[in-house]
């Protein structure tokens, strides 16, 4: 399959990229790793006039510490996220979930920023940055702004980025001492999540003091399982966790497709939340 | 048209290409390097796997213009002076192929796997080859072939030549 024809620009600096996008308006599309965009182009589900390849802008790649925060450049590949010692130390959930994304070849090209900007509710990383309470930094012709993860995902395949804005950085608060686990249910190797649960747990004296849970594929956007988070506070054993996990699907609107009904997805959310929290809390 | 300069299997090519041209089409249709097949065209099967600057990629999911200034290695660039690498020999010796359609991609993915993890467990081999589908073999012999190379039953890919000297 051959993509539709488009013009191609490859800016080498952030300023140039922002200018190029601003001049092109709505008909331009950002190309990062291309692992979602190229399949869409090949299927002729997207028809940009201009593709702006931001893959060679060095300042958008790499991971650094910034006080209590880990700053991950939007163009950092899944592969680099997984192997980065800072991510492993301070944001283990992100590393663990990224390991479940696609396969090694896709992870060599695909980027964290692309996965978030693509805003696919079946993608694993949107629910993870939601659970981590990350902030997303965007740059456009009107300057730089910081968007909390909970305000970033607007709808199915839609973020709140303007067409002329570039996602440049993902700021992840370091979560020292928190247990974490990403539990993903999929039919076959390499396939997307039917449902996924990202759990972060802070324990105090054998009890869960605080839980943060992000849900993959339980609606048009990634969601927090707020009712379950609340119910988990104070849980001290596996039974209490199982009880709290019963409310994991509250307030969600999972879709129906060839592989699962909404009811089945709700069931999965409850089961996977229990598993993820038990693993995160070390109660398994 | 966009000008690109790409080194493929050691030879540098200068070309004018349409931005929409996929790397796999560039390799096959423009350069005639048909050793890299197209299996699915949906980024799932891995048959088209090549190395781009030393890392495995699905060449149906990379634009030729994205490879500008880069080095591409295809399965056709592995053998040295007609001598197969250890992985190629292991696939042959352990019957790791039937129709052979997935083999170029499997070998390129396996190279990548062994570079990152020279001594994988059988499970790690299966995980590392997750992005490569084979409709024929049931994977058993593919995993065996990769493990054989890791265990040194055939010499590691890049040392094949020197190992031969040692055993000779
Ligand atoms: C076979 C296969 C299996 C996969 N399996 C999974 C999976 O299991 N889980 C999962 O989560 N993902 C999966 N993916 C998707 C993969 O994670 C992609 O890498 C990711 O969704 C997109 O990242 P990218 O860098 O490739 O973005 P691109 O494809 O380049 O871009 C995707 C979209 O985001 C926009 N965009 C990208 N970067 C920016 C930016 N910096 N600023 C503004 N807009 C931007 C683009 O314009 C485009 O609309 C799979 C992909 C493939 C091909
Ligand atoms: S042809 Fe590229 S992944 Fe199948
Ligand atoms: S040998 Fe036929 S597809 Fe693998």
Claim to verify: residue A151 and residue A249 sit in the same structural domain: no
Q: Residue B133's closest CA among B108, B154, B102? A: B102
Q: Which atom of ligand 2 is nearest to the CA of B60?
A: 2
Contact B43 A55 (CB under 8 A): no
Q: Complex ipTM, two decimals?
A: 0.95
E strands, A61-219, are 63-66, 69-73, 135-140, 143-148, 153-155, 158-159, 166-173, 179-185, 195-204, 207-216
Give the confidence band of B166 by pLDDT, cuts at 50, 70, 90.
very low
* Average pLDDT for A225-246: 97
Tens digits of residue pLDDT in A31-83: 999 999 999 999 999 999 999 999 999 999 999 999 999 999 999 999 999 99
With beta carbons less than 8 A apart as the criterion, state whether A196 and A217 touch.
yes
Q: DSSP class of residue A3?
A: P
Three-state SS for A278? helix
Q: Answer whether residue A187 shows pLDDT above 80.
A: yes
The pick from B27, B34, B37, B43 for probing ligand 2's pocket by mutation, whose C-beta has the most ligand atoms within 8 angstroms, reads B43
Q: Residue A176's closest CA among A268, A67, A261? A: A67
State percent of chain B over pLDDT 70.
91
Claim to verify: residue B67 and residue B22 sit in the same structural domain: yes
pLDDT of residue A226: 98
With beta carbons less than 8 A apart as the criterion, state whether A33 and A109 touch.
yes
Claim to verify: residue A193 and residue A277 sit in the same structural domain: yes
Residue list, ligand 2 pocket, CB within 6 Å? B 38-41, 43-48, 58, 60
Give the confidence band of A142 by pLDDT, cuts at 50, 70, 90.
very high
CA distance A241 to A233: 9
Q: Is A45 on the interface with B (CB under 8 A)?
A: no
pLDDT of residue A1: 83
Range of the domain at A66: 61-172
Give the confidence band of B154 by pLDDT, cuts at 50, 70, 90.
low
On whether residue A274 sits in a domain, the answer given is yes
Range of the domain at B6: 2-77
Number of domains in chain A: 3
Query: HSE-up of A227 (CA within 13 Å, CB side)?
Result: 12
Q: Is B58 on the interface with A (CB under 8 A)?
A: yes
Claim to verify: residue B6 and residue B54 sit in the same structural domain: yes
Number of domains in chain B: 2
Claim to verify: residue A129 and residue A28 sit in the same structural domain: no
Tens digits of residue pLDDT in A197-222: 999 999 999 999 999 999 999 999 99
What residue of A is the nearest CA neighbor of B110? A104
Claim to verify: residue A80 and residue A166 sit in the same structural domain: yes
Residue carrying the six token digits 């699915």: B40
With beta carbons less than 8 A apart as the criterion, state whether A5 and A44 touch.
no
The pick from A117, A165, A187, A217 for probing ligand 1's pocket by mutation, whose C-beta has the most ligand atoms within 8 angstroms, reads A117
Q: Is A189 on the interface with B (CB under 8 A)?
A: yes
Claim to verify: residue A206 and residue A228 sit in the same structural domain: yes
With beta carbons less than 8 A apart as the criterion, state whether A135 and A148 touch.
yes
Claim to verify: residue A40 and residue A109 sit in the same structural domain: no
- Cβ atoms within 10 Å, residue A266: 19
Chain B residues close to A189, C-beta within 8 Å = 126-127, 130
Q: CA of A215: how far to CAs of A17, A229, B107, B166, in Å? A: 33, 12, 36, 56
Average pLDDT, chain A: 96
A244 contacts: CB under 8 Å, gap ≥ 6: A228, A231, A232, A235, A277
Q: Is A188 on the interface with B (CB under 8 A)?
A: no
Chosen domain end from A148, A172, A196: A172
Claim to verify: residue B91 and residue B159 sit in the same structural domain: yes
Instruction: Return the bridge partners of B29, or none.
Output: none
Instruction: Give me the CATH number covering residue A27.
Output: 3.30.43.10
Chosen domain end from B56, B77, B98: B77
* Average pLDDT for B86-104: 97
Chosen domain end from B52, B77, B102: B77
Chosen domain end from B77, B95, B119: B77
Claim to verify: residue A192 and residue A211 sit in the same structural domain: yes
B68 contacts: CB under 8 Å, gap ≥ 6: A10, B2, B3, B4, B5, B6
* Average pLDDT for A269-278: 98
Chosen domain end from A153, A172, A191: A172
Tens digits of residue pLDDT in B16-68: 999 999 999 999 999 999 999 999 989 999 999 999 999 999 999 999 999 99
């Amino acid at each position: 399959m051959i993509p539709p024809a488009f013009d191609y620009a490859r800016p080498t600096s952030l300023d140039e990229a922002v200018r190029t996008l601003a001049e092109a308006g709505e008909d331009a599309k950002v190309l990062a790793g291309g692992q979602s965009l190229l399949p869409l182009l090949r299927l002729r589900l997207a028809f940009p006039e201009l593709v702006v390849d931001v893959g060679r802008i060095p300042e958008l790649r790499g991971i650094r510490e910034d006080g209590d925060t880990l700053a991950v450049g939007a163009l950092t590949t899944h592969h680099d996220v997984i192997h980065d010692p800072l991510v492993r130390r301070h944001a283990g959930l992100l590393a663990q979930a990224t390991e479940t994304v696609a396969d090694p070849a896709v992870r060599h090209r695909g980027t964290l920023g692309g996965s978030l900007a693509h805003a696919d509710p079946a993608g694993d990383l949107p629910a993870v940055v939601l659970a981590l309470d990350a902030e997303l930094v965007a740059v456009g012709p009107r300057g730089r702004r910081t968007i909390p993860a909970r305000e970033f995902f607007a709808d199915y395949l839609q973020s709140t980025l303007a067409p002329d804005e570039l996602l440049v950085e993902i700021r992840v608060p370091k979560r020292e001492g928190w247990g974490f686990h990403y539990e993903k249910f999929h039919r076959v190797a390499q396939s997307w999540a039917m449902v996924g649960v990202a759990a972060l747990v802070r324990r105090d004296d054998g009890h869960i003091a605080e839980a943060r849970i992000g849900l993959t594929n339980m609606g048009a956007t990634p969601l927090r399982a707020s009712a379950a988070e609340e119910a988990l506070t104070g849980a001290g054993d596996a039974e209490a966790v199982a009880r709290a996990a019963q409310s994991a699907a509250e307030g969600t609107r999972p879709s129906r497709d060839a592989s699962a009904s909404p009811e089945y997805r709700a069931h999965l959310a409850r089961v996977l939340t229990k598993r993820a929290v038990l693993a995160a809390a070390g109660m398994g | 048209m966009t000008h690109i300069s790409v080194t493929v299997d050691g030879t540098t090519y200068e070309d004018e290409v349409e931005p929409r041209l996929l790397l796999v089409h560039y390799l096959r249709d423009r350069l005639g390097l048909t050793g890299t097949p197209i299996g699915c065209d949906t980024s799932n099967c891995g048959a088209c796997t090549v190395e781009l600057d030393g890392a495995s990629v699905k060449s149906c999911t990379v634009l030729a213009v994205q490879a500008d200034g880069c080095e591409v290695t295809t399965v056709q660039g592995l053998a040295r002076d007609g001598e197969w690498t250890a992985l190629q020999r292991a696939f042959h010796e352990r019957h790791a192929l039937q129709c052979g359609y997935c083999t170029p991609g499997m070998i390129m993915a396996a190279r990548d796997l062994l570079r990152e993890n020279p001594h994988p467990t059988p499970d790690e081999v299966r995980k590392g080859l997750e992005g490569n589908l084979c409709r024929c073999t049931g994977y058993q012999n593919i995993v065996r072939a990769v493990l054989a190379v890791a265990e040194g039953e055939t010499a590691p890919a890049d040392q094949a030549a020197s190992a031969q000297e040692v055993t000779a």
